[in-house]
Structure 1
Amino acid sequence: MIIFLPTALNYGYSLSNIEPLNGSNFNKWKENVELYLGLLGIDICLREPQPIPDDQSTDLDHVKYREWERTDRMTKLILKQTMSPIVRGSVAEPETALEYMTAIGQKFIQNEKAEIHLLLDKLTGTQYDPAGSVRELNIDIIRTTTRLGDLNVVLPDAYIIHVCFKHLPASFAPLRTAYFAQKEQWDLNELIAICVQEEELLKS
Structure 2
Amino acid sequence: MAESVSFSVNNNNASIQILTRSNYKKWKRDVDFSLGIMDLDLCMCEDQPAALTDASTTAQRTLHAQWEKSNRLSLIAMKRSIPEHLLSGLPETTNAKEFLTNVGKLYDTGENVETGSLMDEIQTIKYDENKGVRDFVLKIVNIQSKLKDRKVPLLDSYIIHHALHALPASFSLIKTTYNTYNQTWSINDRISKCVVEENKLKKEKNESPHYVSQLKTNKGKG
TM-score, length of structure 1 as denominator length: 0.69
Give the SS at the match of 2:48.
Answer: coil
Among residues 25, 33, 36, which one is paired with 1:35 in the alignment?
33
> Could you say which structure has the greater relative contact order, defined with CA pairs below 8 angstroms and 6 or more residues apart?
1
Whether the 8 Å contact between 2:72 and 2:96 is mirrored in structure 1 is yes
Partner of 2:214: none
Give the SS at the match of 1:14.
Answer: strand
- 1:123 is displaced (CA, Å) by 2.3
Percent identity between the aligned chains?
A: 23
| Structure 1 segment 44-83 matched on structure 2, within 5 A | 44-53=42-51, 58-60=56-58, 61-83=60-82
Partner of 1:191: 194
Partner of 1:176: 175
Cα distance in 2 for partners of 1:47, 1:125 equals 43
| 1:16-73 deviations in Å (ceiling 9; x for gaps) | x433333444334333332332333321111111123276852444553343223211
Unaligned runs of 5+ in 1: none
Select between 54-63 and 175-184 the one with higher mean Cα deviation. 54-63
- 1:103 is displaced (CA, Å) by 1.6
Among residues 138, 143, 147, which one is paired with 1:147 in the alignment?
143
| Larger Rg belongs to | 2
Whether the 8 Å contact between 1:46 and 1:98 is mirrored in structure 2 is yes
Amino acid paired to 2:143: R
Higher strand share: 2
- 1:77 is displaced (CA, Å) by 0.3
Cα distance in 2 for partners of 1:75, 1:93 equals 15
| Structure 1 segment 104-115 matched on structure 2, within 5 A | 104-115=103-114
- 1:174 is displaced (CA, Å) by 4.3
- 1:161 is displaced (CA, Å) by 2.1
TM-score, length of structure 2 as denominator length: 0.64
Partner of 1:4: 8
Cα distance in 2 for partners of 1:182, 1:158 equals 11
Partner of 2:115: 116
Give the SS at the match of 1:18.
Answer: strand
Over 3 Å counting, the alpha-carbon distance change for 1:2 and 1:158 in structure 2 is closer
RMSD: 3.9
Give the SS at the match of 1:53.
Answer: coil
Unaligned runs of 5+ in 2: 209-222
- 1:135 is displaced (CA, Å) by 6.3
Give the SS at the match of 1:4.
Answer: strand
Cα distance in 2 for partners of 1:154, 1:189 equals 24
Partner of 1:94: 93
| 1:143-162 deviations in Å (ceiling 9; x for gaps) | 25413413515545443221
Q: Alignment length, in residue pairs? A: 195
Cα distance in 1 for partners of 2:90, 2:192 equals 41
